[in-house]
Structure formats: structure tokens, C-alpha cells
Amino acid sequence: MPESFKTLCFYCGLLLLAIPALPQDTLSAKALPLPVTVTGYAPGAEGKRVRITTSGDGLTNMEKVLTSAGVEANGRFSATFNLPRTTEVIFAIQFHTAGVYLEPGEKYDLRIAPMNYDDYSDKDPFLQSQNLTLELLHTHTESVNSLIARFDSLYDSFLLDNFNALYRERKKNRVDSLHALLDREFPVRKNPYFDAYVRYKVASLEQLSQYYNPAILAAKYLSAKPVLFWNREYMDFFNNYFTKYITVTSIPLHKIDFKPLLTGNQPVKNMLNALSSDTILDTGPLREMALLKGLLEFYSLPGYDRPAILEALKTLHEQSQFEGTREVAGNCILYLERLQPGSTAPEFSLTDRNGKELTLNDFKGKPLLLCFWTTWCTECLTEMDLLVPLYEKYKEQINFLSVSADKYLSKMVLFIDLKKEYTWNFANLGDRLETLLDYEIRSYPFFVLIDSRGRIFRYPAAAPGGGLEHQIVQLLHE
């Protein structure tokens, strides 16, 4: 070998040693989004919409709408949207759902099994929800969906056969047999998402079966490891491990009073410094994700300053050097502020009694009383009758909108045509059931007061028979 070549190799080696190690947040850093194209066939759903969403992160599970697509007369639909990484995506028609894993830059063809979406029975749509049967066409055995389906089948069978031995008899050697099985079935795991999915599914089993003690689990699966906040199995393990971690589980941390740290100067910096006393939290991304988990728990505990918690989350969202922290902190803020007084009311687009589209923006400039109801709900009808004198008294100062959750507009129109005293605005949800999700409506009647700028004033508001007028007066004198 020429001496000059040896010298070049020597200096190249020095150069490689000088390159800094990749940050622990490498996998959770913001990836370049790439388009994903989905074409599908959903017989029976003609004229309806397919809603495509993701949970975003495993800490808040805040639904993020990727897009929606109309199902054409031939049952076909298509959609294109961007994804930054392998993502579990939910396809929903009405409240019927199915999940699938999609990878950036890929094209997918899927088929949803036929279903009767036009059930005329009067039922709460949440109670009618079923799992869609979704089939990916033209897929291959090494795709992430095929791999996860195969693994889940093996894992479920193993758990069914070994549940008593693992959880009652504490036979830890059964976990060894699972490791051996997986090594045989998946000797090489090239797909990063699938590899993490398997590792942390097994980690959860090791945790619940007490195969390892918490310190060893942390060393094996958390310390000096990337924070995979978008991977379902990683976050299941993370959430189980860090539940009440700051206040109860961690020996160094449960002795620290975080309340004064939260309300003092530089709260985020001081809380992160406190967390650094726990050697398990040995990287910035893990420490910050543990703090996010703790802040969410603090929010529901007595004695913690909620505005200070939100300010700490905003600091992490705006100033963290880690993209994963910034993204999840932003979701935490949305999660805690959603439908709270002062937060922006969710948009909607509905059909009124005359077939005209109504949106939230149509009512801005005056406060709005929003009422969700159905024609088959007896209590709804009682409260609607009590709403009549309130409408007559306040109709010049506040808008009234009653939103029928009946599946068909004609049913709502037929009913209110018989009630001549119902002269305010009425609209029908039809298939736009996302409005029920956005407002988290689980029972009827349900009232919401929105101010003139489109912000939540009371959620839920009182019913007409239970103090609604007092709240209307408060809103008008705000």
C-alpha cells in the first residue's frame, strides 16, 4: 500500500473521530415531510367523506386532521397529504374507524369492506361505531404493516398461552422464550419503526412481568436512547414507566417540591436542573419529555398553579432546542386549553333548515348559544321548549343555533316545522360528525356559549332549566 494512501487514511480517521456524535434527539428531529398518496374503494359509503387523522404524539394523543376525501358514486376516493415519518393513520367514515401505518413518499391502494352506513335507527352515533375492515392491496411481506400484523399475531398468541405463567406465577423464563421466538421469526429488522415497535412492546412485557427491575429497564430502553414520541409502543412503555414518576416513583425527585420551582424565576430551567439529579434522565430530550409528562400530571393535582404550567409549556414549545419537545409541548398546550374559557371555538360547517351552509364565522360579531340536540331525546325537547322565552328575550343581543345530531336533515326539518315557536337558527350535522368530535359531545342536550370573537365562554353551558340565563347575562356584561 503506498505510504501516501496510508497517510490519507490516517487523517480521514482523525476527521471521523472529530465529527461530533449525533444528538440523542436525532430520530425525533423534524424530518422533511414527503407526500403520501392514498386511493381507496369504500362500497356503501358513496356520497360520504373519509376523514384521515393521526394522534400526533403518544403523550397527548391529540387528533390531527391530515385531510378528508369524498367518496364518489363508484365508491372510490383519493387523497394526498404529507407525512414526516412512518405514522399510524386513522381512516374514519362517520364514527367507524380503522388504522394503518403509512410511510412518507409512498403510494397506497386500499379497500374498505362494505358496511351499511345508512342505519335509520335513532341511536347515539358514538354507540353505533364499529371497526372498519381495511385491506391494503399490492403490499409486500416486508412492509411495515405486514411486519406489525405478523408480529402482533405472534405476540397475542404468546400472551394467550403464557398469561398465567407470566403474571401470576412470575415465570420469567417465558420472556426468554419470547425473545427466542422473535429472533427466529425476525432475525433482521431493517425497518426502524418496526424495530422500535417490537423492542418497546417487549419492554412493556418485561416491565409488567417484572422481568427486570426499573433501573435495568431504564438503562436498557430509556437512558441514552432517542425519544420516539411518534411510536405507539415506545410511548406506551414511556407512559407506564413515567406515570407519577416525579411525584412518587423517583427516589431523588419525589423529595423535591416542584410547586415553588414552577412559580419562581426561570421555572423551566430550574425544573430541568432538578430533574438532572435523577441519573435515568441522562439526556436532554428524555429529561424534557419526562418534564412534559410531569406538567400534564401537575395540571390535575391540587396546589399546582395552572397558568404557570401553561407558561412552562409555552417556554418549552418556543425555546427547546429539540424539535420533538417543541412539537409535543405545543400539543400539550392545545390539549389543556381545548374548549377552555378563552380558547378558540372549533370551526364548523353545517346545513340549515333551508339547505344553506352555516359556519361559525357567520355568527361572529355577536355571542352565540350553541345547542346540540336530537329529535329522539326527550330531555332535549323539554329544554328546547324552555329556550323559547330566552330567545324572545335575548335574540337582539345573542345568536341562537340548535344543531341536530339526527342523521338526516329531513327528519329535523319535519320536526321543527311542527314547532312553529322554534324560530331561531337550526342546522343538521348529517355526515359531518367531526363537529361532535371537535366539541366532544357525548350526550344531549349539550349547550356551549361562545363570545362575539369566536372564543369559548362556557363549556358546557347550563341548560335553560338550570341557570343558562344567568350565564347569558354574564356573557353580555363581559
- pLDDT at res. 236: 96
Please give the pLDDT value at position 121. Answer: 58
The pLDDT score that the predictor gives to residue 24 is 38
For the record, the C-alpha cell of 431 comes out as 355526515
Asked whether the bond before 84 is cis by omega within 30 degrees of 0, the reply is no
d(CA 262, CA 257): 9
Which helix (H) or strand (E) is 336 found in, with range? helix 323-337
pLDDT of 32 reads 85
User: Could you tell me the CA-to-CA distances from 469 to 187, 379, 387 in Å, in that order?
Assistant: 67, 18, 10
The CA-atom distances, in angstroms, between 407 and each of 172, 350, 429, 437 are 53, 12, 7, 15
Residue 53 DSSP SS3: strand
pLDDT confidence of residue 126: 62
Distances (CA, A) of 45 to 75, 91, 92, 117: 7, 13, 11, 7
Task: Give the separation between CA 339 and CA 455, rounded to whole angstroms.
Answer: 9
Burial grade of 62 (CB within 10 A; 0-12, 13-18, 19 or more): middle
- Nearest of 38, 221, 49, 63 to residue 136 by alpha carbon: 38
The distance of Cα 278 from the centroid of its chain, to the nearest Å, equals: 29
Grid coordinates belonging to 43? 362500497
Cβ-contact 99, 88 below 8 angstroms: yes
Residues of the chain with pLDDT under 70: 1-31, 119-128
The three three-digit cell numbers of residue 9, written as one number: 487514511
Q: Which residues does 204 contact at the CB level (< 8 Å), separation at least 6?
A: 233, 236, 237, 240
pLDDT for 109-154, tens place per residue?
Answer: 999 999 888 765 566 666 667 899 999 999 889 999 999 999 999 9
- Considering the entire predicted model, what is its pTM? 0.84
Joined grid coordinates for residue 256: 423535591
- All cell numbers assigned to 251: 427516589
Inter-residue contact 108 to 144 (CB < 8 Å): no
Q: What is residue 31's predicted lDDT score, i.e. its pLDDT?
A: 67
Torsion (CA) 318, 320, 321, 327 in degrees, nearest 10:
-70
- Block residue for cell numbers 399546582: 304
The C-alpha cell at 19 is 465529527
pLDDT tens digits, residue range 403-438? 999 888 899 999 999 999 999 999 998 877 889 989
C-alpha cell at 126: 358514538
One-letter identity of residue 334: L
The pLDDT of residue 346:
94
- pLDDT of 110: 96
